[in-house]
Amino acid sequence: MSRDPANTENPNSPPNNSNGGNPQTPGNSFQNNSASPTVLNGNISAPNNSQPPMSPPGMVDTIRVQGNRIQNSLLPNIQPNSQMNGQLISHNNFGLIPHNIQILSLPRIVDNKSAQVNILQNSMLPKIQPNSRMEGQLSSKSQSGVPPNNNIQVIGDPGIVGNPPQPRGGNTTEMRGRSGENLPPGAPNIPSGGANPPGNLATVSNVNYLLSVEQNRADRYSAYFGDSFTNQPIAAENLRESLSKIASQTGKRSAIIYVNLLSDRLELLLFTPDGAAIRKTVPQADRTSLLTLAKEFRQEISNPRKRNTTSYKESAQKLYDRLIAPLEADLQSQDINTLLFSLDTGLRSLPLAALYDGKKFLVEKYSLAQIPTISLTDTRYKSLQNASVLAMGAAQFTKLSPLPAVPVELANIVDLWRGKSFLNEQFTLNNLKSQRNQRHDQIIHLATHSEFQPGAASDSYIQLWDTKLQLNQLRQLGWNNPPVELLVLSACRTALGDEQTELGFAGFAFQAGVKSVLASLWYVSDEGTLALMSEFYQQLKTAPIKAEALRQAQIAMLRGDVRIEQGVLRGSFAFSSKRAGSEAPISPELASMGDRNLAHPYYWAAFTMIGSPW
């Protein structure tokens, strides 16, 4: 590295729908045993005094269909890429799904009303008040269908269906954005004025918004990575089950935070193990001001000349107030301790660990990971307690600056873990392939220069001894069979603010075919990298998940428990019998620098878990 150097997403593209987004009959009606409704320009009307056209299911669904294959569905019994022959029927809660449409228009809002005599007792529609009188027929021309007088139980709006459970702690959702402005395709229009809609309505709309953001980001990664990309749409119920299962396996409750930058505001969306989708709008955080703040923060914290200052704290706290504080009460009420961030363009090179609330850093509260999208993240859990490591690296290069701490780094890793190391001339592509094929190590550690650069995926690379391994070549290594659980790049650098560079960094685990990647956002000093990596592998022995091992290593550096003192590296290391104790020798070059305090976030905040935190 010389480890120590002296187009924002547009979520507004309309869905590809040859019918203009409003599929027409035939094949667009909901049916049940009672009188069938008709569909007029996407709206559902129910016959007068009839039973409701369909009962509201207990979840949200937006279905994308291309050709005659389902691309994206939340229905638990409908799998992605399943064939649609004529009409696909679900007999439980759902009506008929027509054949060969692009976007299925289902009710955007499910509304439960009990109409006794002619008084509406309960309504979720924002413009219909409880206890209001029904005069003849109640109609909303903008969104709602037409319910008959008196004997109606359910009315639907076009868009999505759902009546999901309330999140714990009640409704904390805020929707203050202008109606429908700058929202992803298919996202529901939200009433303006700042009023919080009822909990069910809010959750339904939020899940649809989540799906829209997820699909839009997946499309961007698809364009960047090209043919090697395969999009696997998510199902909200499956995601909830995955988060709940991981919580039971690890004791860690994880939540996903989607950060979406719009021209006039910031949108935050939180998805929890309970299936709650909580959306917050931060009106004072427009795109331009937030990106300026993020750039200032990154520059202040990564500048080696400012390692003895706290100049980063002002911007760190402002970012915390915008990105974390609006969700903090919800995170605490649901006992969340692991955060997965899907970030917008311009924020993916943000050192999240060093966001600051005025008293504590974010990493002191949560384990952290950055994901491209959850659909591109392997959510399965496997313990690394008995894993082996393949450690390779180079200390000398022909055209790049030397990395004198690499030999000590590799020695520490294989001393702390069962594994094998290869240095300099042994660090070739052929040997990397050969050793992996022979040993099937679950952890691969590469101590070398890595660059995420603007341009195509082929412009970013990992430097081997005699060649560059390009980002678009990683899939050819077959690291997904058997799976590599963790890839570590200990000397990595990512360009600030460039969208293509950020896509390569945030999507690195997916592109490499591995579950998780530990990499740095900027070149950290040699002594800082050596210290963090040594402590990380020590913590990985006992931590239930990878992100928690990284968190504990970062906290140990922050608190001064890991430091260079009297020519040795001190930490919580438990080396093998041949080198017992918690001290590790360092290179003569590092020893000549004298004692070094590594508490400044310059040394530890750059290191980021990409992909699965588990």
pLDDT digits (tens, 9 = 90+) for 265-286: 999 999 999 988 999 999 989 9
Residue range 215-224: average pLDDT?
86
**Residue 481, number of CB atoms within 10 A of its CB:** 8
Amino acid at 115: A
Q: Which region among 285-299, 321-335, 479-493 has the lowest average model confidence (pLDDT)? A: 479-493
Give the separation between CA 211 and CA 185, rounded to whole angstroms.
Answer: 10
Task: Select the more confidently predicted residue: 239 or 49.
Answer: 239
Give the separation between CA 573 and CA 583, rounded to whole angstroms.
Answer: 7
Task: Select the more confidently predicted residue: 248 or 113.
Answer: 248
pLDDT score of 242: 93
Is the predicted pLDDT of residue 416 greater than 60, yes or no?
A: yes
Give the separation between CA 319 and CA 614, rounded to whole angstroms.
Answer: 26
Closest CA to 393 of 407, 382, 380: 407
Is the predicted pLDDT of residue 22 greater than 90, yes or no?
A: no
pLDDT score of 587: 78
Q: Which region among 149-163, 280-294, 461-475 has the lowest average model confidence (pLDDT)? A: 149-163
Look up the CATH number of domain 389-611: 3.40.50.360
Q: Which region among 73-77, 99-103, 310-314, 579-583 has the lowest average model confidence (pLDDT)? A: 99-103
Residue range 211-222: average pLDDT?
86
Supply the Cα-derived Rg of the chain in whole angstroms: 27
* Helix ranges, 127-174 (H): none
Is the predicted pLDDT of residue 111 greater than 70, yes or no?
A: no
pLDDT score of 579: 55
Residue range 77-84: average pLDDT?
51
pLDDT score of 278: 94
**Residue 271, number of CB atoms within 10 A of its CB:** 26
Task: Select the more confidently predicted residue: 324 or 157.
Answer: 324
Q: In sequence order, what are the beta bridge partners of 65?
A: 70
Spatial neighbors of 367 by CB under 8 A, at least 6 apart, are: 252, 337, 338, 339, 545, 547, 548, 550, 551, 613
Residues of the chain with CATH 3.40.50.360: 389-611
- In angstroms, the Cα distances linking 55 to 51, 52, 112, 153 are 10, 7, 10, 9
Give phi and psi for 228, each to the nearest 5: -75, -5
Give the separation between CA 278 and CA 165, rounded to whole angstroms.
Answer: 12
Which phi-psi region, left, alpha or beta, contains residue 478 (left: φ > 0; alpha: ψ -120 to 50)? left
Closest CA to 419 of 433, 439, 405: 439
Is the predicted pLDDT of residue 450 greater than 90, yes or no?
A: yes
**Three-state secondary structure string covering 258-301:** EEEECCCCEEEEEECCCCCEEEEEECCCCHHHHHHHHHHHHHHH
Closest CA to 172 of 194, 202, 192: 202
Tell me the helix, strand and coil percentages in the chain, rounded to 5: 30, 20, 50
Judge whether 460 and 506 are in contact, CB under 8 Å. no
Give the separation between CA 222 and CA 208, rounded to whole angstroms.
Answer: 21
pLDDT score of 211: 82
Amino acid at 302: S
Q: Which region among 224-233, 463-472, 564-573 has the lowest average model confidence (pLDDT)? A: 224-233
Is the predicted pLDDT of residue 80 greater than 90, yes or no?
A: no
**Residue 391, number of CB atoms within 10 A of its CB:** 28
Task: Select the more confidently predicted residue: 582 or 545.
Answer: 545
Give phi and psi for 570, each to the nearest 5: -105, 140
The pLDDT mean for the chain works out to 74
Direct distance between the N- and C-terminal alpha carbons of the chain, in angstroms, rounded to an integer: 28
Please report which confidence band the pLDDT of residue 300 belongs to, taking 50, 70 and 90 as the band edges.
Answer: very high
Is the predicted pLDDT of residue 98 greater than 60, yes or no?
A: no
In percent, the amount of the chain with pLDDT more than 70 equals 64
Spatial neighbors of 288 by CB under 8 A, at least 6 apart, are: none
pLDDT score of 230: 52
Amino acid at 318: K
Give the global pTM. Answer: 0.70
Judge whether 509 and 364 are in contact, CB under 8 Å. no
Angle between helices 199-225 and 499-506 (to 10 degrees): 100
Residue range 466-477: average pLDDT?
91
Task: Select the more confidently predicted residue: 11 or 419.
Answer: 419
pLDDT score of 206: 84
**Where does residue 14 rank: exposed (0-12), middle (13-18), buried (19+ CB within 10 A)?**
exposed
Cis bond before residue 483 (omega within 30° of 0): no
Token pair for 537: 């592998």
Which residue in the block uniquely carries the two structure tokens 């082996």? 388
Instruction: List the beta strands (DSSP E) in 85-136.
Output: 88-89, 96-97, 106-112, 115-116, 119-120, 132-133
Give the separation between CA 46 and CA 30, rounded to whole angstroms.
Answer: 10
pLDDT score of 327: 98
